[in-house]
Structure 1
Amino acid sequence: QRHVEEYLLDTDIRKFGLASLFPKELPRLKEVPPGKYFVQITKIADITQPSKFQEDFEGGKWRLLALDLSDGSQKFRGIEYGSIKDLGVHLPPGTKLLLTSTQSAPLRVANGHLLLEQHCVKVLWGNVDKLVVTWKASKEVEEKRLLWRTEGVKKSDGEGAPPWVAFDPKKARGGGRKALDEDFAEWRKLGAALGST
């Protein structure tokens, strides 16, 4: 049994494509029917942050996490409605959650979004290597892109890119208008010669 649990935690459950007991008519519900539901995080972001920082930084106690979730066959969205201590943008895709809904403490739904609270979410962890590698690579690319935007391209020896020099036709090789006209004449002759063959 332990090996089965480890396998499920470390596997992308979307590849099974099996329907779970999670209700398909989520947008029309106000509460999820009582039960326990095994789901996987596909993306998590703090939507109080500017979009370029949503997956990297949390707004501290004022954060509002949005989670893209999957039960293996369908996708849905959850919003951190009450603070959940183990959740954060540090969780990679593939992390598993156990969602619990009971008669006395139901998992509520608003506009098709699960309203996640501490009493109804248990982080089971898990590590799907392929998803983690892709996630880390995309974070690395985004960090470099952000660095490039703020500091410009830096060379490894510490020197930056050469300074920008505006084009000046008078300083161009071959010198001036006369040389340019001669080049055009040569290109026309070459084009005519190629066209006649």
Structure 2
Amino acid sequence: MPTPALSLGALEEKGWFFNQEGLDSLIEQVETDDTTLEQVIDLAKDTDLRELTEKGFRKGDLTKLSQLPSPLVLQVLQIQNIAVPSIQHVEKPRLLRVVFTDGSSKKKWIGAEILGKVESISLHTPPGTKFLLTKPIEIREQLLILGPGMLTCLGGQVQEMIQAWKAGKQFIKRTKGNQTTSEEDLPPPFIPFKIKAS
């Protein structure tokens, strides 16, 4: 059973939003009687957040939020460099678009490096990696306005997500290797990413 120090409230204070079933499933994986908060968090890092809650972070009408509060743990689902055509998987020039989940089965958070490079994220960051919001992040037109000093990487390895990600990368490499350079096979013209100024 959870101790007073190990509760949903204690986890939420550190940015982790589970339901009771999710917390219980993590506690069952700990092979000691005195389960600690740190043990649960370590297990959560290697678990898909969507298996631990259905609601994730929920504070009122999410469509009306002007910022995402901290602390809050988000999990990477997908990373793209929208500064170059999608066929090119390169870091420079760089403007990363990151799809996050807080565990919700219905809501995804999409962020872009509008304010500058987020040092802890790259195209090599695997899905399932957890990040802690260290300061509130502005939401503009349903987009998280990302920049330096906003996210701390907590790590985590969700094996099922990593395996699917690696398989997808291998498929892309094989596909590119079989492509010709005829005009019909070229990707469509690149459309620059735009966002209206507030």
Place the TM-score, normalised by the shorter chain, in its bin: 0.5 to 0.7
Correspondence 1:45 to 2:80: yes
> Displacement of 1:150 after TM fit?
4.2
| 2:169 aligned residue | 139
- Percent pairwise identity: 31
Correspondence 1:20 to 2:56: yes
- Contiguous gaps of at least 5 residues in structure 2: 1-36, 182-198
> Displacement of 1:100 after TM fit?
3.0
Q: Whole-Å Cα distance in 2 between the matches of residues 123 and 22 of structure 1?
A: 22
Correspondence 1:88 to 2:122: yes
Listed as ranges, the matches of 1:29-178 within 5 Å are 29-33=65-69, 35-53=70-88, 56-59=89-92, 62-73=93-104, 74-81=107-114, 82-101=116-135, 106-150=136-180
Aligned 8 A contact 2:81 2:96 in 1: yes
- Contiguous gaps of at least 5 residues in structure 1: 152-197
Aligned 8 A contact 2:77 2:100 in 1: yes
Aligned 8 A contact 1:92 1:132 in 2: yes
Aligned 8 A contact 1:78 1:114 in 2: yes
Q: Quick one: structure 1 residues 26 and 113, their matched pair in 2 at CA, closer, same or farther if it must change by over 3 Å?
A: farther
CA shift digits 1:143-178 (9 cap, x unpaired):
000011149xxxxxxxxxxxxxxxxxxxxxxxxxxx
| Counterpart amino acid of residue 49 in structure 2 | I
Q: Whole-Å Cα distance in 1 between the matches of residues 124 and 156 of structure 2?
A: 13
> Displacement of 1:24 after TM fit?
6.1
Q: Quick one: structure 1 residues 149 and 68, their matched pair in 2 at CA, closer, same or farther if it must change by over 3 Å?
A: same
CA shift digits 1:51-110 (9 cap, x unpaired):
122xx3211xx4100001000012120112221111101001101011133xxxx41111
> Displacement of 1:23 after TM fit?
4.4
Larger Rg: 1
Aligned 8 A contact 1:97 1:122 in 2: yes
> Displacement of 1:32 after TM fit?
2.6
Question: TM-score with structure 2 length normalisation?
Answer: 0.65
- What is the root-mean-square deviation in Å for CA atoms of aligned residues? 1.9
Q: Whole-Å Cα distance in 2 between the matches of residues 22 and 125 of structure 1?
A: 23
Aligned 8 A contact 1:9 1:126 in 2: yes
Q: Quick one: structure 1 residues 24 and 70, their matched pair in 2 at CA, closer, same or farther if it must change by over 3 Å?
A: farther
Compare the two structures and name the one with the higher helix fraction: 1
> Displacement of 1:30 after TM fit?
2.5
Runs of 4+ in 1 over 4 A off after TM superposition: none
